[in-house]
Chain A
């Protein structure tokens, strides 16, 4: 299907252009809009930036707890054993074992999933196929159990009916979609 490949290549070309300018234009839009509405942009920015410091420091314990456990598991050779076994069922070139681990942890803990993704960035290189797959999965899924527990807990709901089933099914669909799209998008990257 040469026309489809050509279309995909062109689509990728323009989406890369859009991707690379989206952040600068959002910044521009936010600042100009706020300035025009006489928001004290400088002071308000500082207020928000203070919060950024807290967020970054707050994630340290969550990173330590999961990164050390992954390091131990990996250094022992057990990770390689799991990856080889999984590779027999799911080809690691299609769905990298690191991304499988990320998918399994994400519904349980956002902090732990972030740790797995950052570990992949460090080990495989941030622009590798595995890192792109992990970035897409991290963005297209949520910490299902946490959200359900917090939101239902806040109003005392005990019978959640079909929430968990639909939530997990949607998560699974998003993961499968992520893997398929990533393979179309970055299929030619070295693995």
Chain B
């Protein structure tokens, strides 16, 4: 997964190491200076300031803090746990994923029907008029057009798993038109930048997660999200077009190789 995952290693280590060191230090300081503890007594929140006098009390408070810390870490990945702060049940990592099985199965079931009936291909045809404007360097009827359109259609329906192989196919077709094999062509950059700006129209997985989290309004974010996505995609398109005007595209491939057989 290249460069992206590399940075994530640093962030992850930072979260874990800083978190634990911070937790230990904060507990040590609290035990020395005393801490304010908020409890719920008869439905009211009562805050009291506790000072630890004897060494025994301090050690006890410190180990309690350690236990609480450990428990939080394990709770976060559990199937289900009681949240002491609210008294409600919550899902950890495994619980969230389990709750998602049904929703995901339902969604992908419908999507498979849409694919089998040719609806996704139909959607691809519906967005094709915009194609000349976005990718002027792709010849008419070149196989690159079909792959790109199918990738866009899959992205719009939130079918990430289907979108990636179609995207790779599109890149191979675009590479067959590219005369400088180690450098990205304008069409490739436009294709990737549009992909990166999120083309989602139907954010099925987010709706699924919201349903699973017992949302009363699982789809309410849809229109605002569409507006934000459109702004992002339009700005990616405009930025690419402006840069295309001021930079030199890679040369087109010689005609005999520009037939798309490279993808086969």
**A92 on the B face (CB < 8 A):** no
How many chain A residues touch B (Cβ–Cβ < 8 Å)? 106
**B57 on the A face (CB < 8 A):** no
**A182 on the B face (CB < 8 A):** yes
Could you tell me the distance in whole angstroms from the C-beta of B95 to the nearest C-beta in chain A? 9
**A4 on the B face (CB < 8 A):** no
For A55, A76, A81, the residue with the greatest tally of chain B CB atoms inside 10 Å of its CB is A76
**A162 on the B face (CB < 8 A):** yes
Partner of B240, one of A67, A107, A166: A166
Q: Are A173 and B210 in contact (CB under 8 A)?
A: no
Q: Are B4 and A149 in contact (CB under 8 A)?
A: yes
Q: Tally inter-chain residue pairs, CB-CB below 8 A.
A: 351
**A44 on the B face (CB < 8 A):** yes
Q: Are A155 and B8 in contact (CB under 8 A)?
A: no
Q: Are B101 and A56 in contact (CB under 8 A)?
A: yes
**B143 on the A face (CB < 8 A):** no
Name the B residues within 8 Å of A171 (CB-CB). 196-197, 232
Given contacts A146-B1, A181-B228, A19 and B209 within 8 Å (CB-CB): no
Partner of B247, one of A30, A138, A162: A162
Name the B residues within 8 Å of A49 (CB-CB). 105-106, 108-109, 112
Name the A residues within 8 Å of B192 (CB-CB). 147-148, 151-152, 163, 167
Partner of B193, one of A77, A127, A153, A170: A170
In Å, the complex CA distance between A63 and B78 comes to: 11
Name the A residues within 8 Å of B105 (CB-CB). 48-53, 56
**B202 on the A face (CB < 8 A):** yes
| 26 pairs from A and B in contact (CB 8 Å cutoff) | A18-B222, A22-B222, A23-B219, A26-B202, A30-B111, A45-B110, A46-B109, A48-B111, A51-B108, A52-B105, A52-B106, A75-B68, A77-B26, A108-B8, A131-B210, A139-B228, A140-B200, A147-B196, A148-B196, A155-B175, A157-B175, A158-B182, A159-B183, A163-B188, A167-B197, A177-B228
**Known pairs A57-B97, A139-B221. 13 more at Cβ < 8 A?**
A48-B113, A53-B105, A55-B108, A63-B94, A76-B19, A76-B22, A77-B23, A117-B206, A126-B218, A142-B196, A154-B172, A159-B182, A174-B235
Q: Which residues of B contact A (CB under 8 A)?
A: 1-5, 7-8, 11-12, 15-16, 18-20, 22-23, 26, 68-69, 72-73, 75-77, 90-94, 96-98, 100-101, 103-114, 116-119, 160-161, 164, 167-168, 171-172, 174-175, 181-184, 188-189, 191-193, 195-198, 200, 202-203, 206-207, 209-210, 213-225, 227-229, 231-233, 235-236, 239-240, 243, 247
Q: Which residues of A contact B (CB under 8 A)?
A: 15-16, 18-20, 22-23, 26-27, 30-31, 33-34, 37, 39, 41, 44-53, 55-57, 59-60, 63-78, 81, 105, 107-110, 112, 114-115, 117-119, 121-122, 126-127, 131-132, 135-163, 166-167, 169-171, 173-174, 177-178, 181-182, 185
